[in-house]
């Protein structure tokens, strides 16, 4: 049974939310970050990049402390206020393509993560978990909800429909032309209804945010061990999440780019591919695959379609049948010599939201020798892997929606 709980969010005032809200720090170019920091004193980027105030790069524990200081300044200046009553928050995004996402911002149980009620499908890197755990411990808040997904639920959907008839607490449009809405849910009966529906769910799944989830779990363990009066109700026993129905989750693929052909000529490389794939030269016409076990390839100014010769392949589990793993098993590792998908500098990843021409451009400019495109993972594949206790290769999914930082903040 999945346990979620309301919390007293720290939030921007209504008049400043559009100024505060920001994308993730890494998604901006340096020029974009500097423009926002120069021209917008309310941007959440001032909190996560506190060294900008001193015109120097600050890292490690010193940075964490300054992040906390900037955050406290935002609270002291009443840019941020904290709700007086524990609440859920209904969040809606309508993107520029008119895709609509609805969900609930809530606190989920770290114990549910430990007990595999909250299931994962992707490996994490230990040092990243520890770094983010130490960051959270120092700053004392989290502003990036983990994206969780659950089976579509008529009762919860009816609450969404009802809330949409009321005035939103927030409504703002970003420069990406996505419109964001937030409603506060503080009615006790509605809160209980939502909690009851989730308690009837045996499992929910991490869609995006495996490292954040793991770090929050490690933090809860640390603080629990140090608290002699621990009773299970403390805020550190939970972490902030955005729970979205499975039907609204948008999963894009990650395409692969490789810097060289591992010492092979183009002809030698194609001959090696022929052992596992039927190869068709598509010329200069962009090609994007439309079914599992088919890949697109861009090499030396031309597109190719690669379709798996199934007579030579059998799949022993759900991971082997995953296209990202299949590409690794048949091409990346045995032919191109890439062993470590996380750390090998010869491989890079391009999310599938960017079109196939973007992949072509990265190769035409000489940065890479060959690129591979694939179809997106389905929600059914993602859940099956999690149920089987298996983990996808890194960068197997690029998942939407992406929430803005600084809209709801969870303190512990």
pLDDT in tens, 68-93: 999 999 999 999 999 999 999 999 99
Residue 51 confidence class, pLDDT cut points 50, 70, 90: confident
In degrees, rounded to 5, the angle at the alpha carbon of residue 389 between the alpha carbons of residues 351 and 112 is 95
pLDDT more than 90, % of the chain: 86
pTM of the predicted model as reported, rounded to 2 decimal places: 0.90
In degrees, rounded to 5, the angle at the alpha carbon of residue 354 between the alpha carbons of residues 288 and 94 is 115
Q: Which DSSP category does 169 fall into? A: S
Check pLDDT > 80 for residue 288: yes
- Residue 395 or residue 166, greater confidence: 166
Average pLDDT over residues 224-250: 96
CB 67 within 8 A of CB 50: yes
Helix (H) or strand (E) holding 308: strand 302-308
Distance CA 16, CA 351 (A): 31
CB 253 within 8 A of CB 373: yes
Distance CA 197, CA 405 (A): 27
Average pLDDT over residues 276-287: 96
Residue 199 confidence class, pLDDT cut points 50, 70, 90: very high
Distance CA 405, CA 20 (A): 8
Predicted pLDDT at 243: 98
Check pLDDT > 80 for residue 125: no
Check pLDDT > 80 for residue 232: yes
Predicted pLDDT at 148: 98
Check pLDDT > 90 for residue 223: yes
Predicted pLDDT at 212: 94
Residue 228 confidence class, pLDDT cut points 50, 70, 90: very high
How do residues 321-359 score in pLDDT, each as one tens digit? 999 999 999 999 999 999 998 789 999 999 988 778 889
Cα distances from 118 to residues 144, 182, 233, 291, 397, in angstroms, run 17, 25, 19, 29, 18
Predicted pLDDT at 127: 85
Paired with 89 in beta bridges are 105, 184
Correct CATH for 254-375 of 1.10.1060, 1.10.10, 3.30.1760, 3.40.50 = 3.30.1760
Predicted pLDDT at 255: 95
Average pLDDT over residues 41-52: 93
What mean pLDDT, rounded, does the chain reach?
A: 94
Distance CA 303, CA 283 (A): 5
Cα distances from 101 to residues 225, 230, 292, in angstroms, run 38, 37, 26
Average pLDDT over residues 287-293: 95
Every domain range in the chain assigned CATH 3.30.1760: 254-375
């Amino acid at each position: 049974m999945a346990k979620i709980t309301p919390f007293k969010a720290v939030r921007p005032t209504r008049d400043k939310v559009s100024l505060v809200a920001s994308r993730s720090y890494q998604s901006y170019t340096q020029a974009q970050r500097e423009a926002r920091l120069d021209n917008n004193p309310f941007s959440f980027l001032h909190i996560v990049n506190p060294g900008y105030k001193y015109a120097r790069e600050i890292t490690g524990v010193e940075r964490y402390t300054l992040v906390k200081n900037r955050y406290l300044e935002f609270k002291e200046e009443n840019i941020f206020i904290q709700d007086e009553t524990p609440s859920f928050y209904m969040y809606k995004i309508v993107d520029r393509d008119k895709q609509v996402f609805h969900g609930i911002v809530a606190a989920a149980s770290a114990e549910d993560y430990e007990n595999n009620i909250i299931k994962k499908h992707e490996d994490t890197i230990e040092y990243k978990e520890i770094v983010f755990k130490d960051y959270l411990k120092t700053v004392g808040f989290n502003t990036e909800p983990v994206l969780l997904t659950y089976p579509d639920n008529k009762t919860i959907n009816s609450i969404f429909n009802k809330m949409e008839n009321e005035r939103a607490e927030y409504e703002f449009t970003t420069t990406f032309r996505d419109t964001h809405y937030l409603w506060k849910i503080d009615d006790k009966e509605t809160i209980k209804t939502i909690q009851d529906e989730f308690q009837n769910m045996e499992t929910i799944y991490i869609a995006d945010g495996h490292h954040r989830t793991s770090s929050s779990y490690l933090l809860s363990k640390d603080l629990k061990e140090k608290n002699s009066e621990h009773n299970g109700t403390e805020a550190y026993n939970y972490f902030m999440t955005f729970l979205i129905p499975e039907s609204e989750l948008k999963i894009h693929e990650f395409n692969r780019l490789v810097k060289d052909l591992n010492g092979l000529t183009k002809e030698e490389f194609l001959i090696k591919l022929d052992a596992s794939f039927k190869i068709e030269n598509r010329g200069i016409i962009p090609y994007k695959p439309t079914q599992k076990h088919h890949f697109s390839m861009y090499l030396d100014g031309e597109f190719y379609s690669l379709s798996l010769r199934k007579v030579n392949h059998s799949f022993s589990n759900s991971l082997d049948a995953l296209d990202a793993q299949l590409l690794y098993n048949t091409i990346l590792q045995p032919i191109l010599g890439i062993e470590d998908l996380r750390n090998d500098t010869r491989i890079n990843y391009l999310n599938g939201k960017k079109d196939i021409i973007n992949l072509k451009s990265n190769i035409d400019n000489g940065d890479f020798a060959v690129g591979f495109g694939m179809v997106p993972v389905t929600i059914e594949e993602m859940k099956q892997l999690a149920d089987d206790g298996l983990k996808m290769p890194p960068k197997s999914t690029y998942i939407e929606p992406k929430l803005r930082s600084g809209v709801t903040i969870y303190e512990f």
